[in-house]
Amino acid sequence: MKNLIFILIILLSALSCKSPIRDYTKSEIDSILLYDFNDKPISIESLTSQWNKRIQDNEEINAKIENLEIVSIIDNKTNKKILVLLGSTNRRSIKTATKLSKFKNGLKLSDITVTCKNCTSDLNIQLSNGNWNCVSDENENNLCTKIETLRSE
């Protein structure tokens, strides 16, 4: 019995030494180290600039991403919780997002980015079996458009 109690105490001590899991959705985005898909650190300013250049030049959308936040999205098919970096305009009519994965001491951006425009649903970006979807309210005219970009540089 003494051995069992001793083993239990050691096990509880070991478990209490684990560092707590960080909830990135509740952290200030400036306090999180972000890495691009090439494993290089990237600042929020540089990322915002790249995203704005992409949506304005490549996707030909006359808008600027002004709000960035980390959200958790549940995949509709797998029910798996996915961490996502979500950017939106002030009017929230354009949203762009990429999946995040834990990397070193921060988060790494995926090489795939999606942009949804003219979608009326509040959170108009969804995942279904790992694939991006843009969603509009059922009663609205369906001008909702998805643009998916794969980064290779």
Q: What is the pLDDT of residues 31-73, one digit of tens each?
A: 889 999 889 999 999 999 999 998 898 888 888 988 899 999 9
Q: Does residue 148 contact residue 96 with C-beta atoms inside 8 Å? A: no
pLDDT of residue 145: 85
Using alpha carbons, select from 151, 126, 128 the residue that is nearest to residue 42. Answer: 151
Residue 1 has pLDDT above 80, yes or no: no
Residues 61, 55: Cα–Cα separation, whole Å: 6
